[in-house]
């Protein structure tokens, strides 16, 4: 049985490059030749080998939520994205341990992956679950949900696709609402105040379970683009 530690990058930092490794893709940081790859083909056997709808979870962590969703909805292909290799390799081990053929993991910066690798109009839904809120104002530039990310996200969403966001951090909710308001082509699925709380059938994840046990409110935003 494969363990997380079995997934290794087979080259040095100096030799770094994107690589696909048995249900996982690694896209290194501080790398500037992304355009040599071109956009990925989800129907390629290295990925899913079919044309089922594709759903992406950004900030997938150890893969608890996306693993559950992939098994619950086998008629969709699922891609978990996390920038930390130690997390991505846990998802990779989960894929093999639980035999989840419709799940693939990508270790990469989310913006880099969307900007350079995901084909236009190819994604049926996206989820950003509990991104780092970077609560200090001077660190706000590091937040995932910003104009650059939303611009690239809008390009990969298929018509009528939904982009979902979950967080326990209300200042981040306010931040996201403002970011979406800057483009009139983003439309909230929910009426004012443009979010709902504590969705019963959301599924289990490390942070969702943790914050719910602590009595925190979980905020869910959902948008379409068009």
Whole-number Cα distances in Å, 6 to 2, 10, 87, 97: 6, 11, 13, 12
How many angstroms separate the CA atoms of 167 and 188, rounded?
A: 16
Annotated catalytic residue within 22, 44, 51, 132: 132
Whole-number Cα distances in Å, 56 to 33, 103, 106, 190, 208: 23, 10, 10, 21, 18
How many angstroms separate the CA atoms of 156 and 117, rounded?
A: 10
82 phi and psi angles, rounded to 5 deg:
-145, 140
Q: Are 157 and 225 in contact (CB under 8 A)?
A: yes
3-state helix, strand, coil in the chain (%, to 5): 35, 25, 45
Reply yes or no on whether 109 is catalytic: no
41 phi and psi angles, rounded to 5 deg:
-115, 110
- If you count DSSP H runs as helices and E runs as strands, how many of each does the chain have, helices first? 6, 10
Beta strands of 112-218 (E only): which ranges? 123-129, 157-167, 186-188, 196-197
Residues with a known catalytic role: 132
């Amino acid at each position: 049985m494969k363990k997380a530690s079995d997934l290794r990058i087979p080259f040095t930092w100096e030799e770094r490059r994107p690589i696909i490794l048995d249900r996982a893709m690694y896209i290194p940081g501080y790398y500037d030749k992304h355009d040599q790859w071109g956009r990925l083909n989800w129907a390629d056997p290295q990925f899913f080998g079919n044309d089922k709808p594709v759903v992406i979870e950004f900030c997938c962590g150890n893969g608890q939520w996306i693993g559950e969703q992939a098994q619950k909805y086998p008629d969709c292909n699922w891609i978990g994205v996390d920038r930390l290799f130690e997390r991505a390799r846990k998802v990779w081990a989960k894929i093999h341990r639980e035999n989840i053929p419709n799940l693939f993991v990508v270790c990469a910066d989310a913006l880099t992956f969307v900007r350079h690798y995901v084909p236009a109009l190819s994604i049926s839904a996206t989820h950003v679950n509990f991104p780092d809120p970077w609560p200090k104002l001077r660190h706000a530039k590091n937040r995932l949900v910003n104009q650059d990310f939303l611009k690239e996200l809008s390009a990969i969403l298929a018509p009528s696709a939904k982009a979902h966001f979950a967080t326990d951090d209300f200042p981040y909710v306010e931040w996201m609402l403002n970011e979406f308001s800057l483009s009139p082509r983003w439309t909230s699925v929910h009426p004012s105040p443009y979010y709902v709380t504590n969705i019963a059938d959301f599924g289990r994840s490390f942070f969702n379970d943790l914050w719910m046990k602590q009595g925190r409110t979980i905020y869910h935003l959902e948008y379409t683009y068009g």
